[in-house]
Structure 1
């Protein structure tokens, strides 16, 4: 068998980009027996550079999210942003070139726009001739994703394909697959076994609250709000790596009247989503795709301008989510949902219709068919 080698390059700015790369890598290994390697672009540079970028990103999201939205919009419209992109790529591409030459991939797959820019620059300058593909992990395309040097793009829905084709990408190079999620989200799960493991009851509605690890989602305030709902419900809250938030949620969970289970970082999101009747979260492309794959309806809380706002519009337009821009709006939504069970059913059905649980398999199959020579 030929030695097929796939280099997947991502960045840890939001966990979804890396999870998408991991999902496709798994399917390539399992279904096509090829050698894959996951590269975190921050690992190619001095550790201080990556840490500084990540800390600045999280601080902006936490303290002044509107600033992020402004930068996102500027990057989508300004000619200066394209010049800046070119300069950054030129400065940073050297180390990536060394890495690529050492690994000798059959194809490069990027799941974040920054490494995509470096790979495109290397291809444009003729420094590498390796075919490259991009997986966009949101429900919108930012202009800084657009590189005619890429052989293929994998996108979530047809409107994204239309945007790319209007911006110089050949239509035959664009494949609508959905956003790739882990194989664990399509495996059968015994909901009652998970409920039993968590000491929760099957006759209560379960609310899952996620997305507060970066401190942007006020999970403690949302938990207090849920405590006021006079219906039989139970709550699962995931604080991520935010230990301060985790301790506050534990303390709150011990005094409210509904059963509460609090977790820090977890690797069984698929199990938690299997028991969830409703997810309250931020609209990240990956977490949203995971929820849709399992038919879990969403309530989106205060999306940040930029891709979160665009993701929200996509979900709302397709009837798979509801939106709350304040705690009072969130309370009204929850009260209304618990008063009319048919709303839960409608949301769940529409979420399931949008789900693309086999996207990782479809992408891996396409890569194997188009880039692996016998």
Structure 2
């Protein structure tokens, strides 16, 4: 079954998962970039949640618990499965989740293409089973390559770096099927300006560096009270804490550090949608090293300190950026405080960090994915060859 979509806008499915916010944020960024180009029939599907809601909720909870309470176990499983082949027993089992739901979805919606921002790859086998000859793409949302993302029947890979492109080539993926796009992020990161009115809107004093402390979408960064106690001993910068959806953490910090909040040395925020605004105002960021958050920080030209990265993709993300000179890693509050002071007061260190960041910076990743994928659907005329840069 081959679709014809002349004289109409194509329909695309973007398959994501809700383990953290990163995969959904990438999916939304691609959807918005497609809409900018007139491709407005895009469906975002949380495949596991649609197919197996109980399993989805259970595995999300296990993931969060293993991440926070048993990080060593999570890292061990990640490392043990990292080299697995697509046709191994375990990989085949993982990719089977959501298969029946996806089959029904494909037959009902008849999409013209499917893009993944999470590595549940039931699509390649289904294409053969139901004879649906449509393009498929995979957008890798980390700086570390786990082979769960890799399947020889995926038509197009979108990767964050040249290093990952080389890894895929070594795994047998032809170079022509790989686009170095970067990790898709919100459109607000395309152009960032430091507006004095913006600083005033967030209540940030003029002339003081801003340290942005990201607790993660679910507010799970460890040692938050100890970290703040250590950082607030320094009066040379302002600390902004983003607690995400963790209202209990926000309330706790507001009560514990009310004096610092009154003195405007500390600002405690919940979930922030326009993160590009805060990143534009910050001098450095302390964060869990999830791929999308790191891509946002790189797009903002923001020096990164990854705090206690857990084993698995986040530690590997942090190690990759540290090796490139674009991030530092801290494992204790004392280490973290020392690295921030070093960074803020050392202009050479800041300059070196920003130079490394610029080499990895890809602000328009969502646009690159949209342009490249649309060109392969033959719906864009005169698509620039720069889509592959």
Which range, TM-score by smaller chain? over 0.9
Q: Distance in 2 between matches of 1:78 and 1:173?
A: 21
Q: CA RMSD in A?
A: 2.0
Which of 203, 209, 216 matches 2:207?
A: 203
Tell me, what secondary structure is at the counterpart of 2:36? Answer: helix
Q: 1:224 aligns with which of 208, 211, 229?
A: 229
Q: Who is 1:332 aligned against? A: 338
Alignment check: 8 A CA contact 2:204 2:264 kept: no
5+ long unaligned stretches in structure 2: 1-6, 381-389
Partner of 1:267: 273
Partner SS, residue 189 of structure 1: coil
Superposed CA deviations along residues 164-212 of structure 1, whole A, max 9, x for unmatched, are 1221212210111111111111134343122100111120010000034
**Structure 2 CA distance, aligned partners of 1:99 and 1:40?**
12
What does residue 358 of structure 1 align with?
A: 364
Match of 1:178 among 175, 178, 182: 182
- The question of whether the paired residues in 1 share the 8 Å contact of 2:189 and 2:299 is answered with yes
Aligned length in residues? 371
Q: Using a 3 Å threshold, how does the CA distance of structure 1 residues 192 and 346 change in structure 2: closer, same or farther?
A: farther
Report the alpha carbon displacement of residue 91 of structure 1 after superposing the two structures with TM: 5.4
Q: Report matched runs for 1:295-334 at 5 Å.
A: 295-334=301-340
Q: Among residues 129, 142, 150, which one is paired with 1:138 in the alignment?
A: 142
Is 1:167 aligned to residue 167 of structure 2?
no
User: What displacement does 1:352 show?
Assistant: 3.0
Query: Could you list the per-position Cα deviations for residues 296-350 of structure 1 after superposition, in whole angstroms to 9, with x for gaps in the alignment?
Result: 1111111111111221122112211111112221122123224323323332333
Aligned to 1:149: 153
Contact 2:232 2:265 in 1 (8 A): no
Q: CA deviation at 1:285?
A: 0.5
Aligned partners of 1:172, 1:145: CA distance in 2, in Å? 17
* Contact kept? 1:177, 1:359, Cα under 8 Å: yes
- How far apart are the structure 2 equivalents of 1:202 and 1:341? 19
Secondary structure of the residue that 2:267 maps to in structure 1? strand
Deviation of the 1:288 alpha carbon: 0.4
Q: The residue matched to 2:43 in structure 1 has which SS?
A: strand
1:31-71 CA-to-partner distances (Å, cap 9, x unmatched) read: 23341111111332242221111111111111111111011
Q: Where does the alignment leave 5 or more consecutive residues of structure 1 unmatched?
A: none
Which of 231, 240, 243 is 1:236 aligned to? 240
In 2, Cα distance between equivalents of 1:80 and 1:34: 32
Displacement after TM superposition at 1:261 (Å) = 1.1
Instruction: Compare the two structures and name the one with the higher helix fraction.
Output: 1
Q: What pairs with 1:284-299 in structure 2 (closer than 5 Å)?
A: 284-299=290-305
Pair 1:122 & 2:105 matched: no
Residue equivalent to 1:23: 29
Normalising by structure 1, we get a TM-score of 0.93
Does the Cα contact within 8 Å between 1:58 and 1:214 map onto a contact in 2? no
CA offset at residue 249 of structure 1? 1.6
SS at match of 2:13: strand
Contact 1:238–1:265 (CA<8 Å) still a contact in 2?
yes
Instruction: Determine the structure 1 residue equivalent to 2:8.
Output: 2
Residue 4 (structure 2) aligns with: none
